[in-house]
Chain A
Amino acid sequence: MPDPSAPPDSGHHRLRPPEEEEPALSELREILFHEERDELLALRERVHDPAQRARDVSEVLPDAVHLRGESGPDESLTEALRPTVERTLKESVQRDPQVLAEALFPAMGPAIRRAITEYFRTLVQAFDQAMQHSFSIQGIRWRIEAMRTGRPFSEVALLHSLMFRIEQVFLIHRKTGLLLCQAVAPDAKVLDPDLVSSMLSALQDFARDSFDASKTDTLQNFKVGELDVWAEQGPQALIAVAIRGEAPQNFRLKMVEMLERLHFQFGHALDEFSGDPGRFAAAHDLLSEALVTQRREHSLPPPRPYFVRGLLAAVLLGGAWLIYQGVQDWRWSRLVDRLREQPGYVITSSGRESFTRYYAIRGLRDPQAADPFVLLQKAGLNPALADFQLSPYYSLDDAMVRKRAEAALAPPPGVTLNVESGVLHVRGEAPAEWERELAGRALMLAGINSVDTSGLLLPGQSDFVRRRGQLGGVRILFGVGSAEIRPDQRAALESAAELLKSLDELSQQMGAELSVEAVGHTDRSGPDAANLRLSQNRAERVIQSLARGGLRAEIFGARGAGFNEPLAGESNEAERQLNRAVTFRILAPKPGTQP
């Protein structure tokens, strides 16, 4: 207890005024206010003791804050607390983030999950739309617009593709399902907002009960007539919009944002709602912001991605097909060029048949001309695609006429045919009967005006002519004044015999009778009459000798020419010897000199 007589400390100055106070007054004061003074001292001590003050405030602080909150919406307490709370949170995080993380964990998980789900849903939607727009002309135009205006493409695309109208926006009290406020688009056919609100609320309950969904899962869409109703639910209220047409998924984000703003603005009123919607009239402006009307510029829907992809594929395929066709056309035209060069072809026109793979080649073809399909295969083209429309005709080209003659006349082996300017030249050996018919048949053929058979021999004739030539060179020589066969002439005689034998045989093959004249010769010496006789003897002697060797005597004739047909000059003995001889002359047949 403080001692009133002694000043306990400086704090007593005002209660113990300066010395000028009368001691009597002081005493009186002491008597009168003794108890109050003690109380005042106790109070002062309490007020000046920080520890005690803290204790006092701590007792009333919760009630004081509560009272302040109950007195209605007032931001001042919040404002006053905010900086401290913010600083505290900041410091707490800086010191040990784990504490706050643990405290927030139960709330953050669902919030993050929901945000991510929402994000991906809108992302997928945006991607779908981007796919729709990327390939179209419209999409390119929007891309240019995005570059020009500096806005993201997705935003431009969204703006243009909105093809819907938000006709009604409802703000609904979650607990009662009652309508708090609504905004209606002008001229919209209005659904009874009270009924829609309640029914939506009922459907939410039903969906939750029926599908055993958690409290946070809500019914998001339903249909009333031709209108889609979308709902987004917050803790105390939900927003529903009636949509005509197809709204993009992004619109949901707008609804969520709006719901957050409404909760912020009307949180208190929502909490206290007891049937009077008047307090929510101010929400009308905010709700009206959602009354979006967006019509597509064009009445045609944008090309669907699969359509665009199909179109692209078709263009690529078409391009590839055109290139392939171009190469094919070039190969076909080369074939046509080659056909034009071929004898026996007249190409009048060629080209692909419209809208088909078939290639038509029209014109004339000599039956003897090269097979077009063989040429086709040589060129590596598919014969199945060829449509040859070639009429037959007779070509007057020499090569064609020759082929035609060969086909028609069937020349025996060894006979060659040639055509030059309408003249058929025949060379080689052919049987007489073929030769007989040759001219008549050849002249019937188109393109042959005359036949030249000068080069044509009967079978064996060429042999005959050759051996006749050889026989012409054979001389059987004799001694002076003698008709005896000298031993040294045996070999000459034998070769003559051999030639004559084969000539006889060849003659018979040709159907002719060989007729040979053995001609005797002499030199100049001696009288002419004696020489004629001598030469005759010499010829006969040779024939006798040959006949003895096996040749038929009847083919021979002997003639003495004396010195009338000298075989050489008479300037020396060697020449004179040559004139003393027998030679042979074929009288018949005479092939090669007559047709």
Chain B
Amino acid sequence: MLIKRKICMVGAFAVGKTSMVRRFVESIFSEQYLSTVKVTIEKKTIRRGEDEFVLMLWDMAGEDAFQSLQMSYLAGAAGYLLVADGTRRATLEKALELQGRVQQTIGSTPFVAAINKNDLAADWEVTEEMEQGLRGRGWTVFRTSAKTGEGVEEAFQALNLAMLGRKP
């Protein structure tokens, strides 16, 4: 059976959202879309047993001081990947804030948190305690590296499962 899902990549500026999806997908849209329309679309297919899941990844421009998240793009999303940069603690705080706003906008929706740039362990700022704190909130948290690919596939699989749990 073929199932299609809309998924949003949400996170602060330069946390590596685009890099995470670029490892796996090809896009027909240029980078220009991301800067002007503030979103670019990529596609990722996941197999699970007999089922094939087509995930349409809405790679949304990261939020920073200069641009805010385009909330209207969240409409209809079946789940989202909340991305933070492990080497910048502020991005994790941003992720927390964004999660609240997303939930406010589209309601309680399955998501998975990815703390990216695990390859730069030396510069790591996010502590075990902080991670545990997130898990304590009931979050599913993955350490990922868009550079090496570590944890990325697992994060998407977990998100997919979470979505199945909600709407099998």
Cβ-defined partner of B167 (8 Å) among A192, A202, A209, A275 = A275
Q: How near does chain A come to B99, taking the closest CB pair, in angstroms?
A: 20
Contact flag A277-B4 (CB < 8 Å), given A195-B42, A206-B70: yes
List the B side residues contacting A194 at CB < 8 Å. Answer: 4, 43, 54, 56
8 Å CB interface, A185-217 against B: 191-192, 194-199, 202-203, 205-206, 208-209
Contact flag A195-B41 (CB < 8 Å), given A205-B73, A205-B75: yes
Confirm or deny: A503 has a beta carbon within 8 angstroms of a beta carbon on chain B: no
Complex Cα–Cα for A208 and B6 (A): 20
Contact flag A206-B37 (CB < 8 Å), given A178-B6, A195-B42, A198-B58: yes
List the A side residues contacting B33 at CB < 8 Å. Answer: 199
Can you offer 8 A-B residue contacts whose CB atoms are under 8 A?
A175-B75, A176-B6, A198-B41, A198-B43, A199-B29, A202-B39, A206-B37, A275-B3
- Please give 10 more A-B residue pairs, beta carbons under 8 A apart, in addition to A176-B78, A199-B40: A173-B76, A191-B28, A195-B56, A196-B28, A202-B41, A205-B73, A206-B37, A274-B167, A276-B1, A276-B3
Task: Sort A-B residue pairs by CB-CB distance and give the 10 closest, nearest first.
Answer: A176-B76, A175-B76, A198-B41, A176-B6, A206-B37, A275-B3, A178-B4, A198-B56, A205-B72, A199-B41
Complex Cα–Cα for A203 and B78 (A): 19
Cβ-defined partner of B5 (8 Å) among A192, A206, A275 = A275
List the B side residues contacting A192 at CB < 8 Å. Answer: 28, 43
Q: How near does chain B come to A210, taking the closest CB pair, in angstroms?
A: 9
Q: How near does chain B come to A432, taking the closest CB pair, in angstroms?
A: 115
Cβ-defined partner of A224 (8 Å) among B28, B40, B77 = B28
Q: How near does chain A come to B160, taking the closest CB pair, in angstroms?
A: 11
Confirm or deny: B27 has a beta carbon within 8 angstroms of a beta carbon on chain A: yes
Complex Cα–Cα for A202 and B5 (A): 15
Give how many A-B residue pairs fall within 8 Å (CB-CB).
75
Q: How near does chain B come to A223, taking the closest CB pair, in angstroms?
A: 12
Confirm or deny: A179 has a beta carbon within 8 angstroms of a beta carbon on chain B: yes
Confirm or deny: B2 has a beta carbon within 8 angstroms of a beta carbon on chain A: yes
Cβ-defined partner of A206 (8 Å) among B38, B76, B167 = B38
CB <8 Å contact, A202 and B58: yes
List the A side residues contacting B43 at CB < 8 Å. Answer: 192, 194-195, 198
Complex Cα–Cα for A228 and B56 (A): 22
Complex Cα–Cα for A177 and B76 (A): 8
CB <8 Å contact, A275 and B37: no
Among A173, A196, A206, the most chain B Cβ lie within 10 Å of the Cβ of A206
CB <8 Å contact, A275 and B38: no
Interface size on A, residues (CB 8 A): 26
Confirm or deny: A278 has a beta carbon within 8 angstroms of a beta carbon on chain B: yes
Q: How near does chain A come to B29, taking the closest CB pair, in angstroms?
A: 6
Complex Cα–Cα for A470 and B162 (A): 160
Complex Cα–Cα for A209 and B70 (A): 9
Complex Cα–Cα for A222 and B55 (A): 24
Against A, the Cβ 8 Å flags (1 = close, 0 = not) of B35-61 are 001111111000000000010101000
CB <8 Å contact, A195 and B6: no
Beta-carbon nearest neighbor of B56 in chain A: A198
CB <8 Å contact, B78 and A195: no
Against A, the Cβ 8 Å flags (1 = close, 0 = not) of B1-31 are 1111110000000000000000000011100
Beta-carbon nearest neighbor of A208 in chain B: B72
Among B1, B4, B56, the most chain A Cβ lie within 10 Å of the Cβ of B4
Q: How large is the interface on B (under 10, 10 to 19, 20 to 34, 35 or more residues)?
A: 20 to 34
List the A side residues contacting B75 at CB < 8 Å. Answer: 175, 205
List the B side residues contacting A277 at CB < 8 Å. Answer: 2, 4
Beta-carbon nearest neighbor of A206 in chain B: B37
Cβ-defined partner of A203 (8 Å) among B1, B4, B37 = B37
CB <8 Å contact, A179 and B4: yes
Contact flag A209-B41 (CB < 8 Å), given A176-B77, A194-B56, A276-B2: no
Q: How near does chain B come to A227, taking the closest CB pair, in angstroms?
A: 11
List the B side residues contacting A199 at CB < 8 Å. Answer: 29, 33, 40-41
List the A side residues contacting B29 at CB < 8 Å. Answer: 195, 199
Contact flag A205-B70 (CB < 8 Å), given A177-B76, A195-B42, A195-B43: yes
Beta-carbon nearest neighbor of B74 in chain A: A205
List the A side residues contacting B1 at CB < 8 Å. Answer: 276, 278
Complex Cα–Cα for A176 and B4 (A): 10
Against A, the Cβ 8 Å flags (1 = close, 0 = not) of B153-168 are 0000000000000010
Complex Cα–Cα for A573 and B58 (A): 166
List the A side residues contacting B70 at CB < 8 Å. Answer: 205-206, 209
Complex Cα–Cα for A178 and B58 (A): 11
Complex Cα–Cα for A275 and B70 (A): 23
Complex Cα–Cα for A209 and B29 (A): 20
CB <8 Å contact, B28 and A195: yes
Against B, the Cβ 8 Å flags (1 = close, 0 = not) of A266-296 are 0000000011111000000000000000000
List the B side residues contacting A176 at CB < 8 Å. Answer: 4, 6, 56, 76-78
Among B2, B33, B54, B76, the most chain A Cβ lie within 10 Å of the Cβ of B76
Beta-carbon nearest neighbor of A210 in chain B: B37
Beta-carbon nearest neighbor of B5 in chain A: A275
List the A side residues contacting B27 at CB < 8 Å. Answer: 195
Complex Cα–Cα for A163 and B155 (A): 48
List the A side residues contacting B2 at CB < 8 Å. Answer: 276-278
Q: How near does chain B come to A551, taking the closest CB pair, in angstroms?
A: 136
List the B side residues contacting A208 at CB < 8 Å. Answer: 72
Beta-carbon nearest neighbor of B42 in chain A: A195
List the A side residues contacting B76 at CB < 8 Å. Answer: 173, 175-178
Q: How near does chain A come to B72, taking the closest CB pair, in angstroms?
A: 5
8 Å CB interface, A222-275 against B: 224, 274-275
List the B side residues contacting A274 at CB < 8 Å. Answer: 167
Q: How near does chain B come to A279, taking the closest CB pair, in angstroms?
A: 11
Cβ-defined partner of B37 (8 Å) among A175, A179, A195, A202 = A202
Complex Cα–Cα for A275 and B77 (A): 10
8 Å CB interface, A494-509 against B: none
Beta-carbon nearest neighbor of A200 in chain B: B41
Q: How near does chain A come to B21, taking the closest CB pair, in angstroms?
A: 12
Complex Cα–Cα for A506 and B114 (A): 150
Q: How near does chain A come to B6, taking the closest CB pair, in angstroms?
A: 4
List the B side residues contacting A197 at CB < 8 Å. Answer: 56
Q: How near does chain A come to B4, taking the closest CB pair, in angstroms?
A: 5
List the A side residues contacting B28 at CB < 8 Å. Answer: 191-192, 195-196, 224
List the A side residues contacting B39 at CB < 8 Å. Answer: 202, 206
Q: How near does chain B come to A207, taking the closest CB pair, in angstroms?
A: 9
Among A175, A194, A195, A278, the most chain B Cβ lie within 10 Å of the Cβ of A195
Q: How near does chain A come to B111, taking the closest CB pair, in angstroms?
A: 16
List the A side residues contacting B58 at CB < 8 Å. Answer: 198, 202
List the A side residues contacting B5 at CB < 8 Å. Answer: 178, 275
Q: How near does chain A come to B87, taking the closest CB pair, in angstroms?
A: 30
Complex Cα–Cα for A224 and B32 (A): 13
